[in-house]
């Protein structure tokens, strides 16, 4: 099995990552580390593993970004199974053996397992990941389109034949490159396996340096829209109305709430990009249909209609609830959220509605 590990300025973390790979049980690993032009001592730390005779190879490149580094590593991979790991995370000791066993047993093109967020001393499996991985399955995308929401690169194990024969590669020069490629993998696979096991520990850096902690920047939002466009194009080209609708409502909208929280205090350019992206990607399909939480469906509707001040007011109000639910009331049309900072009469009732399972 080949594991590709891109490295860029992770001197503080890379030893722990490689040690977790070398500690894998019941599997032979070929670890391909791609140093993406690091400016710190990351490459030197990897070289120590090479010099010690561990099954670690070091490939050095100029800095081209994560997608390019993964692609370079995949070109050097020689084993029949292929995985990707990020250099600031760790892999539980039985993860790869569990996934390899499932791929070989099922004949699937790849397998995906669950993940745990690693914050400080705490490991927690996100509820949405637990739901997507609730049972062991071998299926195709038409049977379980919501699995498209599991966009991560590093909780999956691919057969190398499938990876190359289906033309998979990571986008280069853009962040959030996981989603377009994993989307293509699901769509192109004859079958894939889903397992409930936690196979990856995803480190949430406390210092805020990881890419996913920079959502208030214009570049971050530009890249998010770009990769959503790529994934949506692939889904639409696949040609299944069911898969397309699930992708738009349950998957593509899934991370928008993290951007909506940035609306208060955002600058004009960032707001304009947020508004234009929402209108483009959900054209003809309002976010009131999405799987976002109620207050964020309302915020999405406000963004669609260019109501910046109201959207900011809603997000500021939600922040005062300290993670608690938005109050509910019942009127002659049924349950709805009660958000006192806006005039509810100026809002589509669908943007305020509470669904049966949310009551």
Task: Convert 91-151 into a string of H (helix), E (strand) and C (coil).
Answer: CCCCHHHHHHHHHHHHCCCEEEEEEEEEECCEEECCHHHHHHCCCCEEECCCCCHHHHHCC
Domain-terminating residue out of 149, 182, 212 = 212
pLDDT band at 357 (very low <50, low <70, confident <90, very high): confident
For the segment 307-335, what is each residue's pLDDT rounded down to a tens digit?
999 999 999 999 999 989 999 999 999 99
Q: Which of 227, 124, 245, 131 is nearest to 182 (CA)?
A: 227
pLDDT at residue 196 in the model: 98
Domain count of the chain? 2
Same domain membership, residue 193 and residue 70: yes
Domain-terminating residue out of 162, 193, 212 = 212
Task: Report residue 123: phi and psi, to 5°.
Answer: -110, 130
Same domain membership, residue 120 and residue 201: yes
Asked if residue 235 belongs to a domain, the reply is no
- Which alpha helices (H) appear in the chain, and where do they start and end? 14-22, 42-51, 66-76, 95-106, 127-132, 160-165, 178-188, 218-238, 241-246, 256-260, 268-281, 294-304, 308-320
pLDDT at residue 321 in the model: 95
DSSP for 226-260, please give it.
HHHHHHHHHHHHHT-HHHHHHIIIIIITTTHHHHH
Same domain membership, residue 28 and residue 170: yes
Over residues 264-292, mean pLDDT: 95
pLDDT at residue 205 in the model: 80
Same domain membership, residue 163 and residue 90: yes
pLDDT at residue 112 in the model: 98
pLDDT at residue 284 in the model: 84
Q: Residue 5: enclosing H or E segment and its boundaries? A: strand 2-7
Q: Is the pLDDT of residue 85 over 70?
A: yes
Same domain membership, residue 17 and residue 148: yes
Asked if residue 247 belongs to a domain, the reply is no
Same domain membership, residue 276 and residue 143: no
pTM of the model: 0.94
Same domain membership, residue 200 and residue 130: yes
Q: Is the pLDDT of residue 210 over 70?
A: no
Asked if residue 281 belongs to a domain, the reply is yes
Asked if residue 233 belongs to a domain, the reply is no
Over residues 268-294, mean pLDDT: 95
pLDDT at residue 207 in the model: 60
Beta bridge partners of 242: none
Same domain membership, residue 156 and residue 62: yes
Q: Are strands 110-119 and 156-159 parallel, antiparallel or unpaired?
A: antiparallel
Asked if residue 149 belongs to a domain, the reply is yes
Same domain membership, residue 199 and residue 62: yes
Quote the percentage of the chain above a pLDDT of 70.
98
What six digits make up the tokens of 169? 């590669």
Q: Dmax of the chain from CA atoms?
A: 73
Over residues 49-73, mean pLDDT: 98
Asked if residue 242 belongs to a domain, the reply is no
Angle at which helices 294-304 and 268-281 cross, to 10°: 100
Q: Which domain holds residue 275?
A: 253-358
Over residues 233-237, mean pLDDT: 98
Q: Which of 20, 155, 28 is nearest to 79 (CA)?
A: 28
Asked if residue 39 belongs to a domain, the reply is yes
Same domain membership, residue 155 and residue 90: yes
Same domain membership, residue 289 and residue 192: no
In terms of Cβ atoms closer than 10 Å to its own Cβ (0-12, 13-18, 19+), residue 176 is: buried
Q: Which of 87, 111, 100, 94 is nearest to 18 (CA)?
A: 87
Residue 177: give its domain's CATH number: 3.90.550.10
pLDDT at residue 212 in the model: 47
Asked if residue 306 belongs to a domain, the reply is yes
Domain-terminating residue out of 212, 237, 269 = 212
For the segment 128-141, what is each residue's pLDDT rounded down to a tens digit?
999 999 999 999 99
Same domain membership, residue 264 and residue 206: no
């Amino acid at each position: 099995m080949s594991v590709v590990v891109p490295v860029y300025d992770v001197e503080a973390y890379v030893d722990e990552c490689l040690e977790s790979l070398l500690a894998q049980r019941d599997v032979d690993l070929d670890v391909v580390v791609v140093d993406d032009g690091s400016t710190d001592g990351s490459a030197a730390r990897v070289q120590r593993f090479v010099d010690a005779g561990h099954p670690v190879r070091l490939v050095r490149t100029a800095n081209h970004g994560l997608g390019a580094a993964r692609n370079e590593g995949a070109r050097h991979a020689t084993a029949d199974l292929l995985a990707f790991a990020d250099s600031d995370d760790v892999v539980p000791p039985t993860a790869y053996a569990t996934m390899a066993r499932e791929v070989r047993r099922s004949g699937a093109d790849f397998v995906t397992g669950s993940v745990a967020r690693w914050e400080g001393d705490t490991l927690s499996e996100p509820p949405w990941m637990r739901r997507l991985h609730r049972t062991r399955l071998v299926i195709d995308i038409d049977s379980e389109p919501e699995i498209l929401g599991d966009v991560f690169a590093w909780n999956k194990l691919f057969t190398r034949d499938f990876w190359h024969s289906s033309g998979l590669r990571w986008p280069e020069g853009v962040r959030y490159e996981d989603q377009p490629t994993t989307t293509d993998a699901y769509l192109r696979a004859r079958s894939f396996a889903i397992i409930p096991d936690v196979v990856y520990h995803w480190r949430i850096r406390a210092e805020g340096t990881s890419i996913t902690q920079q959502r208030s920047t214009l570049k971050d939002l530009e890249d998010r829209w770009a990769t959503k466009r790529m994934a949506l194009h692939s889904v639409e080209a696949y040609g299944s109305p069911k898969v397309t609708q699930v992708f738009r409502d349950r998957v593509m909208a899934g991370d928008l709430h993290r951007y909506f929280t940035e609306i208060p205090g955002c600058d004009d350019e960032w707001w304009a990009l947020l508004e234009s992206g929402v209108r483009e990607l959900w054209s003809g399909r309002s976010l009131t249909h999405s799987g976002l939480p109620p207050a964020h469906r309302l915020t999405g509707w406000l963004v669609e209609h260019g109501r910046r001040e109201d959207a900011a007011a809603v997000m500021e109000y939600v922040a005062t609830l300290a993670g608690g639910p938005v109050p509910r009331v019942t009127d002659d049309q049924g349950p709805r959220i009660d958000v006192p900072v806006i005039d509810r009469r100026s809002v589509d009732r669908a943007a305020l509605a509470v669904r049966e399972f949310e009551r």
